[in-house]
Structure 1
């Protein structure tokens, strides 16, 4: 019997070794800040789609690009946008074994694109830098306090990064002094090539709105073909830097032409097209998720009131209560 036992054990070990290894990925959602605190009823839908990570996004606000003071952590903000709210969200997510990335973001009044934030004078640059350091270090300290797994040092700030590289190098050192976890930066999909400080971070972070198909209802096959021109460059970039690629945002609207310019969120796109969202999402998973250079990503975006979010008349990014939710759940279960 002893020999039979060891024979069977050896067969099991050999079978397991022969099975294709699938590394654990960051299967994340972008958890949208709200007015109220959360509890397990808000995190359970995240668990139900087999997500293992969430991005928490406290906000700072710039009223005027010509007076670049960042207003943050005030009583006038929604609870989820503040330090106290971020802390409460993180603790609740951690209870359900959901790892967290804190991803502080800036909103410029009237919705101006943050990538174009650029000062005209040295005095204004200094004001912006001082204000940004106050904003970002507050959340780096919180990240260390509550053992957050990943911290994002900025989101889509191309002109700021390009014009003030020395500031960003110093800021990373200051963040490292207070936070001991993994660092990334959320570069726009066409910005990351020139971001100068990837070697100082742990992940190459990309808001991954790559154009992959011009079709009104893109097919899975067309989107996968469209990904080929991007994945070759991403793989080479990752290998050159010896850093994994992390999609700090990814996702598609349930709208016509959803994979043509995936970053678009304007209201002029009024159609509802679930097949387009389904196919584009499935293609992204098939094109990148199993790659060794790819660490995972955070789906854009997930609202805390799951039963009220998305639905069959919604053409925005959220997958909630739409057919694509089942695709995400099935894929996340594999990793």
Structure 2
């Protein structure tokens, strides 16, 4: 069983604190003049591994909807939040990642290699250590894994690499400065880090070393549609005032009540399907972000299986749902 594909979007945090704490800085190098990154986070499924014909069909469909970029996700795995024994997970092997990068680039898609850490029954933001020696061991192991990914990404021509995703419990360690130096010795593309929307990026000791900062964007949006567009507009305006950034993740389930806790996975709460809700929320987000100059957006998520999704599905994917038309309207323009 490929457990890593079920990474949770947990982390209930107050919206006000998130807005107050973002504190993003302008990027030192964002590829001025290049077309915006508009695409998805791709999750490989067992029946459609990266590089397969089925995955190629799924990526071509994404391209036909206007997408020009894809985040490919190698999952790392560790037994518990305070256990430093982190390893490469079994969902996407190094060979499969290579094949996926080649496949996506051959289709004209830009590629971000974006590692995620999967921790059973929780999420990457829960990783935290009480013993300094354990944190040092974890960072050493993580560095080794990240350097392997950096070499692979450079060899295969990936345009960007994320240092990590939502590692808020360990991202304040000064060792990251050394790690970034080592990564830059091996990867010459765009370097980013996907911070949690609670203000993690403002706390990063290495934020000025990034080419462009990124965030995952899952703030709670209220109980119903009343005032929904206005709340999203205010959030987008607040983000825009912080300087250039990428939205490394944006999404919600196509499920009743999905806007309440947009990070919530199907495994956390059973709900009836509501594709129209997902479409409305994403339409509001993409409209507001674009209006405020935030054009680089990777939706969460899209599966390598071209038959994934559909009207009865309650996952985050927009495949086969009304939100797919929203994607095409915004990304294809």
Across the aligned residues of Structure 1 and Structure 2, the Cα RMSD in angstroms comes to 1.8
| Structure with bigger RCO (C-alpha 8 Å, 6+ apart) | 2
Q: Give 1:248 deviation, angstroms.
A: 0.7
- Report matched runs for 1:236-275 at 5 Å: 236-238=241-243, 244-265=244-265, 266-275=267-276
Q: Give 1:258 deviation, angstroms.
A: 2.1
| TM-score, reference length from structure 1 | 0.83
* 3-state SS, counterpart of residue 161 of structure 2: strand
Q: Give 1:169 deviation, angstroms.
A: 1.3
- 1:148 maps onto 2:153 in alignment: no
Structure 2 match to 1:18: none
- 1:311 maps onto 2:310 in alignment: yes
Structure 2 match to 1:278: 279
Structure number with the higher helix fraction is 1
- 1:100 maps onto 2:111 in alignment: yes
Structure 2 match to 1:8: none
Aligned mates of 1:108, 1:198 — CA distance in 2: 25
Structure 2 match to 1:33: 44
Structure 2 match to 1:203: 212
* 3-state SS, counterpart of residue 258 of structure 1: coil
Q: For residues 267-301 of structure 1, give each alpha carbon's deviation from its aligned partner in whole angstroms, at most 9, with x where no partner exists.
A: 42412112211110110011002433x24111111
Q: For residues 152-193 of structure 1, give each alpha carbon's deviation from its aligned partner in whole angstroms, at most 9, with x where no partner exists.
A: 00111101013x1x1111111111111111011111111333
Count of equivalent residues: 294
Aligned mates of 1:295, 1:181 — CA distance in 2: 19
**2:231 aligned residue (216, 226, 250):** 226
- Report matched runs for 1:51-66 at 5 Å: 51-66=67-82
Structure 2 stretches lacking a partner, 5+ long: 1-32
Structure 1 match to 2:329: 330
* 3-state SS, counterpart of residue 199 of structure 1: helix
Structure 2 match to 1:287: 288
Larger Rg: 1
Structure 1 stretches lacking a partner, 5+ long: 1-21, 239-243
- Report matched runs for 1:137-216 at 5 Å: 137-162=147-172, 164=173, 166-190=174-198, 191-215=200-224
| TM-score, reference length from structure 2 | 0.83
Answer whether contact 1:107 1:114 (CA < 8 A) is retained.
yes
Aligned mates of 1:45, 1:299 — CA distance in 2: 15
Q: Give 1:27 deviation, angstroms.
A: 0.9
